[in-house]
Amino acid sequence: MTNNAIRAVLFDLDGTLIDTAPDMALALNRLRLECNLAPLAFESIRPQVSNGARGLLEIGFGLSPGQMGFSALRDRFLQLYRQDIAHQSRLFDGLAAVLLEFAARKLNWGIVTNKPGFLTRQLLKELNMTPPVVVAGDDLARRKPAPDQLIYAAGRLRLPPQHIIYVGDHERDIQASLAAHMRAVAVRWGYLDGERPIEDWQADAIINTPAELLNFIDTQSPT
């Protein structure tokens, strides 16, 4: 085992590991219909999914946390989302094969997400996924872009952060990864919200397909 060897991979959830946008968009548009508003186009909703209920209610209703009506709409949105949380949500194409290859290589893996724990664990249960480590957005006091969740996950894996890759589709993922001294991989297949170009995030690698993650691991873990 070299000093550089990768021994585990941690994933962001929404927009990186699992394509949850169809079900979150469905919940938002159901909420808009309840409020006598026309549905939004999926293409306008998808980029905000990584920003959770906050981002979706911003584009759906022009409301931000702290504004009148936000909390009630957020609660109703989450209720609608939970009803069909795994109706269309699936692993992104190519990731099932990558996870199988992890098992063959004896590489550990897990999930670190800002998604609330009750939603994270319900979604994984309905998709029959049991990663060794799951750290949700309300498991610790601070969430990404703070590094706390990633450092905690490394402790759960009993590995130094230097032996772990974190994979995400938002700049906050890369910021948290670098602050935790993990190698950071940004994915182009995610929900890139357009705030800053992915090339400006300072990731160690930018990948277009899940198969490229294995190639990156190979470059970091020479034999």
Residue 66 has pLDDT above 50, yes or no: yes
**pLDDT (mean) for 74-89:** 97
Residue 194 has pLDDT above 90, yes or no: no
What whole-number percentage of the chain has pLDDT above 70?
A: 97
Cβ atoms of 177 and 166 closer than 8 Å: yes
Residue 133 has pLDDT above 70, yes or no: yes
Structure tokens at 17: 């590991």
Average pLDDT, the chain: 95
Determine how many CB atoms are found less than 10 A away from the CB of residue 159.
16
Q: Tell me the whole-structure pTM to 2 decimals.
A: 0.94
pLDDT digits (tens, 9 = 90+) for 140-156: 999 999 999 999 999 99
Residue 183 has pLDDT above 70, yes or no: yes
pLDDT value, residue 2:
47
pLDDT digits (tens, 9 = 90+) for 200-211: 999 999 999 999
Crossing angle of helices 117-126 and 70-83, in 10° steps, is 20
Which residues are known catalytic residues? Answer: 12, 14
pLDDT value, residue 195:
82
Q: Residue 221 — very low, low, confident or very high, per pLDDT cuts 50/70/90?
A: low
Phi and psi at residue 163, in whole multiples of 5°?
A: -100, 15
Helix, strand, coil % in the chain, rounded to nearest 5: 45, 15, 40
According to CATH, the topology of domain 8-19+90-220 is Rossmann fold (3.40.50)
Query: What ranges do the domains of the chain cover?
Result: 8-19+90-220, 21-83
Residue 96 has pLDDT above 90, yes or no: yes
Phi and psi at residue 34, in whole multiples of 5°?
A: -60, -25
Any idea which residue has 């980029």 for tokens?
47
d(CA 18, CA 39): 23
pLDDT value, residue 222:
57
pLDDT digits (tens, 9 = 90+) for 25-43: 999 999 999 999 999 999 9
